[in-house]
Chains A and B, each alone.
Chain A
């Protein structure tokens, strides 16, 4: 049994003969933070949906710790671009939803929810309805809700895409912090980084991908394939200052060129 997330020869077509994804192979080690960038229409979100088990692959398979993914489950938390909170449940009960489904007893549930809300800085809003929260706060709640079940993998689909620039930067630091602080349900023997959740985050913002990811995967379009797998060797833990260093700017420019080239090729194929 191999630990971690494995995507093997994954393909998906919604219309026969027009694959959105084809032969996607990725391995993500336990506790790794990986970002996927790609032009729009490259099948980034489809890839996440397949890993989450919300749709079934046309070819290939997804393995988590050696077990094939056959459907959605609490071992893979998913966060969408627009926070899809339960509007009739207050913040604490939103976070508790997955724990209720797991049958965690009330006292343990409340304790975990309180700890998580503290961790995401929303303890003072535990009783508030989602409609009262700002976009950034709503996204913090969705992340806390996904983390409540201590998932092995946290899947983020453009989670900060709808936020303003300042909030977005706050949230980037926040997700890094959460990744370091909130352990996943790995076996008790694992320590340090191996106890962290694996994070796979899809974004179209190259700067965000380079800043957050330990690895950046560039997805090409028509059909979607991993065209580049770039290790990001920047000092850990990442702070905002790193965004101004020459190394950061150099990597960012290189990835941007790759994405731009994919985008141009995609446009050319659309209008021959």
Chain B
């Protein structure tokens, strides 16, 4: 039962993470392949502040703010690039952030990671705090999802979609494309930071190996599997992926083959990613179902 609660919490955290990527990838059409950097910045900032004795809610807020600032710092130069090049710039940015976590031992303790990150005081530590943490995650996910939905139907969200479809049209209509994109990235980064904070305070241990390209691919898969550019698609994708991942643990696998599970899982993810792109690039929930979203 506690295990189920654990899976639900992880799925919800990834749901928030996926929604934040969807804001950039789905709505604005920005190929951000380094989204995990903001997840990591949020997690590290919040963890370090929390460990230094700040109240958790305050350190989480500061973690989100740090991720947002990092997003703005990335956006200003990187948005001069288009398409593939933006993708590579963000990918490289994420690797640089990770190398920073690994090498700046005085701050992050390097590869050893940060243990013992406190949870919010009203939730309680260990297994006893699981139901409360789940409730906290559900509330936050709902809040994030509703905000994202509100955003998508607002004039701002519609302008983002125009930018995605055709930048020149957006410009011709008098929209400031750069400002729209920057705001989308900052917003996405803040939410990714939130997911990172939740992750750090839930797992209570983080290390640079939690914030690699694999996590980027995982969240990318959540978004494209669920349906990019939709409200609930990314959350659905996150639930499918996380439950699939956890279900693998129950397969009766002989101990000798235990080490094969992770690569096999990766192969399945890669294969699914290719298959979705070939057969159903819009994902499970299609954006254009009945055109209700527009």
The answer to whether A and B assemble together is no
Q: Which A residues are closer than 8 A to B by beta carbons? A: none
